[in-house]
Structure 1
Amino acid sequence: MSQYKQILVPVDESPISYSAVEHALALAKSQDAHVTIVSVVAVDPFVGVDFYAIAPAITEYFMQAEKSAQLRLEDIKQSFIRDGIEVDTRLVHGVSPTEGILQVADELNVDLIIMGSHGHTGLKKAMLGSVAQNILTQCPIPVLIVKE
C-alpha cells in the first residue's frame, strides 16, 4: 500500500461526509498523514433568477451556508486534533464543489482524496450531478469513495 502523507477530505452537511471523515481519521492515523478538510460553498444556486428581487435572500443564504460550513469544519477538525493528527481546514467559495476540491488538491499536492458518495444513479444522478463522479473522472490522484 502506498504511503499517504497529504490527505484531502471534502465535506458537506451530509451524513456520508462524516463516514468519509471516519475513514480519513483511521487512515491518517495509520499513515501518520496530514489531513486537510475542505468545504465548498457552491456558486450561486439562484442562477437565472432576477438578482435584484432576491438579493437579500441570496445574501442570507450565503451567510448561513458559510457559517454552517465553518462550524462543520471546526467540529471535524477537533476530531483529528483529539487523535493527534495534523489537520488544517479550508473554506472555498465562488466555484462549483468539483472545482473547489480539485483546486485545493492541486494547491496542496495531496496524495489521496477521501470523500463520500450518496450513490445516486440514473435520472437522480443526471439531475443532481455527482461531485464524487466528477472528482473520479477528473482527478489524477487516488480517490477513496465511501458509500452509504
Structure 2
Amino acid sequence: MKTKIRAFTLNEMVIVMIISTIVIGIAFTVLSLVQRHMWSIQQNFKLNTEFNRLEQALWIDTNNYSAIKYNKMEREIQFKTVLDSTTYHFKSDYVLRDRDTFHVQIEQKRFFFDGIKVSEGMVDAIQLNLSAKFKDQSIFVFKHNDAIQFIK
C-alpha cells in the first residue's frame, strides 16, 4: 500500500524562490533610496547649522561691541570695546572667529556705514552672500549707531 506524503512540488518551490528574490531586490532598492535621502537631509542640516551659527555669532558680536572696523588688506572684521575685542578672518573656504571656525564659503562681502557702502574702515552693517553650496543665502546684520560713532 502506497501512502501519499503531502509536499510542495519542485515547480512551486522555484516560483516561491523567484517571488522572494524579486521582493528582496525591491526592498534593497527602496532601502538604498531611503539611505541616500537621509544622507542628503543630514548634509542640508549640517550646512544650515553652520550658516545659522555664523549668523547668530555675527548678530551677537554686532550688538555687543561698540566699534566695528573692516580691514580690506587683512580680510578681517574687528569688533572692539574698551575692554574686549573679537576678530573675524575671512578665508576662501571658512570664516575664523578667534578660535571658532565656520565652514561656509563667502562669495561676496559688503559693508555699510550709515547706509553708505564702504570698502573698509568703520562699519555698522554687514552683508555676506554665501556660495551656491548654501543655496545662495545671504546674511545681513546691522546695529544702531550711538553718538560716539559720529564724533570722530
What TM-score, normalized to structure 2?
Answer: 0.24
Question: Going by fraction, where is strand more abundant, 1 or 2?
Answer: 2
Between Structure 1 and Structure 2, whose CA radius of gyration is higher? 2
Greater helix proportion: 1
Superposition TM-score, scaled by structure 1 size:
0.24
